[in-house]
Amino acid sequence: MLLEKKVIMVTGAASPRGIGKATAKALAAQGAQVVVIDLRKEDAEAAAADLGNGHLGLACNVTDKTACSSAVRATLERYGRIDGLINNAGITQPVRTLEIGGEDFDAIVDVNLRGTLYMSQAVIPIMKEQNGGSIVCMSSVSAQRGGGIFGGPHYSAAKAGVLGLAKAMAREFGPNRIRVNSITPGLIQTDITGDKLTPDMRAEIIKGIPLGRLGDAADVANACLFLVSDLSTYLTGITLDVNGGMLI
Ligand code: NAD
């Protein structure tokens, strides 16, 4: 198995149809001990229990630096090491530029970008001590196209910020053998997108996707598995487009 004895934290991993939960499942299937992080303790614990025995569910709001440190401490108390972090927690808001209020901007940037920084800051000292680790950051095709259907311009900006942050961390911590890579999913069927598409919208979107379908959470989960595992030991600072060819 690819991840035998590896301890991997996944943020935003309790949403039943979400990318985080699918990723947690893919990692557990490869032998990882998975730490499911989400806003509510009961959701995180239930999602961890769904993965089988030996996984941990923790409540942590990734916008709260102290909470991120506590989650890392709890993980170390339980497993004694941390090999990977998937910065997946995210929120969107489908509004246009002129409608974005200050609070909207703060909320979107806080979860998507600040949360990625705080969780990374919490795990990196541990990974440095262990002389290695792998961090995967969830950006979005919205960062590359300048907008999407479900994310507003502030979401595009925050997700573009994630790409810059990931590259900067990859450069800074490469000498510590800590790899940092990003994924830019296209349109993936989850709670963020799932039921909100009318048949007409869906058909229109699919016209622009060479592979002819929307993505599944498992498509992104498999990309996370690749980047967090030793299959990608010479990759850092890259962006993996998981979008069915949307940008060709
Ligand atoms: P989702 O809403 O199903 O899951 C997001 C999870 O993050 C939820 O479990 C939620 O409770 C959790 N979360 C939200 N705020 C949090 C916080 N402050 N602290 C901790 N957890 C928090 O969404 P998804 O579609 O699975 O999206 C996962 C990631 O992929 C997000 O970063 C999203 O922006 C990104 N993404 C999704 C798509 C898509 O089409 N679904 C496309 C591109 C990028």
Integer Cα distance of 68 and 62 in angstroms = 6
List own/partner pairs for 195-200 with CB under 8 A and 24 or more apart. 196/150
Residue 50 domain flag: yes
**Rounded mean pLDDT, 225-230:** 98
Given this model, what pLDDT does residue 31 score?
98
Catalytic residue among 79, 118, 155, 234: 155
Nearest CA owner, ligand 1 atom 33: 90
Task: Give how many domains the chain has, as a whole number.
Answer: 1
The boundaries of the domain holding residue 31 are 7-242
pLDDT digits (tens, 9 = 90+) for 145-204: 998 777 899 999 999 999 999 999 999 999 999 999 999 999 999 877 767 788 898 999
| Residue 49 CA, ligand 1 centroid: distance in Å | 20
Given this model, what pLDDT does residue 198 score?
87
> Number of C-alpha atoms within 13 angstroms, CB side, residue 208?
11
Closest ligand 1 atom to Cα of 14: 9
Confidence of residue 82 (pLDDT cuts 50, 70, 90): very high
Q: Rounded mean pLDDT of the chain? A: 96
**H-only helix segments in 140-228:** 141-145, 153-173, 199-207, 217-228
- Confirm whether 155 is a catalytic residue: yes
Residue 247 domain flag: no
Identify the residue whose tokens are 């060709």.
Answer: 248
Q: Which CATH number does the domain housing residue 74 bear?
A: 3.40.50.720
Closest ligand 1 atom to Cα of 142: 43
Closest ligand 1 atom to Cα of 16: 3
| Residue 237 CA, ligand 1 centroid: distance in Å | 22
Residue 1 domain flag: no
Given this model, what pLDDT does residue 194 score?
62
| Residue 175 CA, ligand 1 centroid: distance in Å | 31
